[in-house]
Amino acid sequence: MDPVERAREILRQYPLCDSCLGRLFASMGYGVENAERGRAIKTLLHMRLVYDYRNGVDVAEDLKALGRVHAPTRRFLASNGISVEEARCYICGGLLKDVEKYAESVAKALAEIDFGTFQVGSVVPRDMLEREREIVAKFGIETGESIKHEINRRIGRAVGELLRRPASKERPDVVATVNIIDGTVKVARNPLLLLGRYLKLSRVVSQGRLVPGASRTIEEVLDPVRARFGGSALVLHAAGREDSDVRMLGNGRPAVVEIKEPSKYRGDLSGLATEWVILSPLKPGTRNDVREMKAKSKTSIKLYRAVALSDKPISAEDLAKLKALEGAVVVQRTPRRIKRLSPRARRRRMVYNIEAYQIADRVIEVFVRCQGGLYVKEFINGDGGRTQPSVAETLGASLEVVELDVLDVE
């Protein structure tokens, strides 16, 4: 239907300001603000009704309805002896005339945060939303946008002009929510995600929570990174996991460092070097990077080095038998040392290559190149038959892993 005729029907029943009328036709022409669109529709309707009125068509009631929300129509009616009082907008009650006034409060709330991108949200009175829905349903409007969208966009644009940066819908650093009811502003600081790799040089540092035998966690070691950005906490997301007594060497393990509630989103990305952990130079990341890293870690290829102690002497001929494990699919029940998972769960992982060297009569060094997720300690010691096949089973010996290192994460 012609938007002018549709507006004529709506205005007969509801007085609407320029913004609220124009918003009902928001998708009919881009690059035009709702107030401009509504004003143009009212002007066209005014011209049409005045033309009909002067040609003897009885449109007085439509003129009066338009006159409630259109000054030129009121002036025309007054010149013809008809008085019409201006009416408040049925939907917003006049709020949208100066909604940009909240921009200064938002800019002030963001002043203490060093951010790159922002977004504005709003809390709008429920009855205002219900009045808008009433009109949309009654007239079958399919071309509009919600009043919240308009409020957010207009305040966001005004804030952008004050701060000299545009609002962003693509995962902004900060979100400022304006309560239109009482004018308060709440700021949510989204986490800062930083991509990198870490090396763990110590056998007494745990990747996750503190466990027996560990003196600290990687997150504790990385706390200076949190401090650089003024965050409230640091969370490490890694591509796989190593035990606290396992070193992570080589090119390091892919990881995402998450800084909660930072006060700075721009800062030193040079990484960190300590005697326990080395973090490579960082770069900004996203939640999708975390998901992709986690998914890839289940299938990525890893290279391990283990030193194992045998209960009996191992000969070079014995070690040659381990070549039979290359290409094997290893089936593992959840290791007994891991109590958080179902003991009946079974995991299948591929062993691609294996090399073994004799260090002493009862000490061997084993290099295992395998699919990510293989429990390497249990692959070597057999875990009492819960892992098959295993190095211990193949050698016919009881093995204890005394050292384990991750040498590469491909």
Asked if 69 and 15 count as a contact pair (C-beta separation under 8 A), the reply is yes
What is Dmax (Cα atoms) for the chain?
116
**Residues 381-404: b if buried by 16+ CB within 10 A, e if exposed:** bbbeebbebbbbebbebebebeeb
Q: What amino acid is encoded at 153 in this protein?
A: R
53 is in an annotated binding site: no
Residue 285's closest CA among 327, 239, 247? 239
Side-chain half-sphere CA neighbours of 232 within 13 A: 6
Residue where the block lists tokens 């003024």? 230
Catalytic pick from 52, 114, 243, 408? 243
CA distance 208 to 219: 8
Residue 292 backbone zone (phi > 0: left; psi -120 to 50: alpha; other: beta): alpha
Q: What is the DSSP letter of 305?
A: E
CA distance 115 to 265: 5
Residue 333's closest CA among 316, 354, 348? 348
3-state SS of 160-200 is: HHHHCCCECCCCCCEEEEEECCCCCEEEEECCEEEEEEEEE
Residue 228's closest CA among 276, 189, 183, 266? 266
CA distance 12 to 14: 6
375 is in an annotated binding site: yes
Active-site annotation holds for 98: no
In 10 A of CB 278, how many CB atoms? 17
In 10 A of CB 27, how many CB atoms? 10
Q: Residues marked as binding for substrate?
A: 304, 375
Annotated binding site: 304, 375
Q: Which residues are catalytic?
A: 243
